[in-house]
Amino acid sequence: MTRLWDKGCAVDAAILEFTVGEDWILDQRLVVHDVAASIAHARMLAAQKLISAADAIAITSALTDIGAAHARGEWSIQPEEEDAHTALEARLVAQLGEAGKRVHLGRSRNDQVLTAMRLWLRAEIAALAEMADCLAQAAEALAARDGALPLPGYTHMQRAMPSTVGLWAGGFAAEFRDDAASVRRLMARVALNPLGSAAGYGVPFLPLDRSATSRELGFDAPQEPVTACQLSRGKSEAAFAFEASLLLQDIGRMAADLCLYATSEFAFVRLPHEFTTGSSIMPQKRNPDVFELLRARSAQASADLFAVLNVPAKLTSGYHRDLQLIKAPLFRMADVARGCTAILTHALAGVRFDAERCRVAMDPSLFATEEACKLVVQEGLPFRDAYQRIAARYGGAK
């Protein structure tokens, strides 16, 4: 087949396979966004009299049909097509002939992929923020259900002060809300339109209207100057990966608590059988595998975050093929973040705190700080003196 960059010279098959890498697989999720950007571009070209109105209508209709067929699973990108852009244009040309060849005027694969990635990021940002809010609601529901139960508060893994299930779950709910808000703020990073910047230096001679494509695609404005477009690659991706990793850390910490609270030694939490797995050798075992895996996912997230950060870190200005390698860790991060958020939201509905075990765990030492504060208020002692008196009572001074 003819590739978008093909000049009629043969390319070594092994080199081609290596450079294509996973793009033909990863780009399946970009097809819908490349269709939208290509339609906006074609309409702009027609408005600027660079292609005919009839060609623009035909291109728009054909791209809509091709995109819908992909969504239905009727075709997928093949290895020899390299990426979403080539796959779409090949099908467009096969369907329309000469008219299909006109859609690439005034753009490059460089601004195509950057535009598609920003549209994908917008969708992912909205989805992940909504899911983080749903997770916060699940934590709030847990707090409403079992919130009045007492629960030891821990520092250094030692019983420290009295708390409640409501305070424990409410703290996580607040952080999940904060995560959702932080993710939403990323919309500002993907608000500028790179379409029409081509390979990073604009398009000579052609009167492109980048403001028109910005309006149609929902961007605030064209990204200017055009040289900033390729310099910005990896930054919004890294920002998304960072916020997703923070969400996953909060998820992991809640999961770590639940793993601990579900042990026989603590037994604060009861998990339904359908949320646990068994041992292949020990008949009595019920294991909280789902929470263990949630606890581990933040480690994978950190690795993917560093991959996204480090690929562009030492590049010179302009486009480099290195940037292709951002896709895999970024997409994996998005999938893991949404998957973990969804499963913890689901699992929290089955978590129950054991009222009796929680009450038994509230030993008198948890109230030591309260006793010291009472001495300050009731006897007028300096806090340090009150602290020492209460410490002696609990064996702090011999």
Which one of 52, 61, 76, 279 is the catalytic residue?
279
Which one of 156, 264, 273, 280 is the catalytic residue?
156
- Quickly list H helices, 262-382: 289-310, 327-348, 355-360, 368-379
The CA distance from 3 to 91, in Å, is 12
pLDDT confidence bin for 398, thresholds 50/70/90 = very low
Active site residue 279: yes
The CA distance from 381 to 373, in Å, is 9
Which residue type, as a one-letter code, is found at position 20? V
- Quickly list H helices, 28-96: 31-47, 53-71, 84-96
Active site residue 346: no
pLDDT value of residue 10? 64
Summarize the chain as % helix, strand, coil (round to 5): 65, 5, 25
Three-state secondary structure call for residue 111: helix
Domain positions in the chain are: 13-105, 112-192+224-360, 364-393
pLDDT digits 0-9 by tens, 14-49: 776 676 678 889 999 999 999 999 999 999 999 999
Q: What are phi and psi of 387, to 5 degrees?
A: -60, -45
pLDDT digits 0-9 by tens, 220-274: 999 999 999 999 999 999 999 999 999 999 999 999 999 999 999 999 999 888 8
pLDDT digits 0-9 by tens, 355-377: 999 999 999 999 999 999 999 99
Round the CA-based radius of gyration of the chain to a whole number and report it.
28
Write down the CATH superfamily of domain 112-192+224-360. Answer: Fumarase/aspartase (Central domain) (1.20.200.10)
pLDDT value of residue 22? 87
CATH code assigned to 13-105: 1.10.275.10
pLDDT digits 0-9 by tens, 273-312: 888 888 778 878 888 999 999 999 988 899 999 999 999 9
**Using an 8 Å Cβ cutoff, are 88 and 104 in contact?**
no
Query: Residue 48's closest CA among 227, 206, 201?
Result: 206
Three-state secondary structure call for residue 233: coil
Average pLDDT over residues 205-214: 98
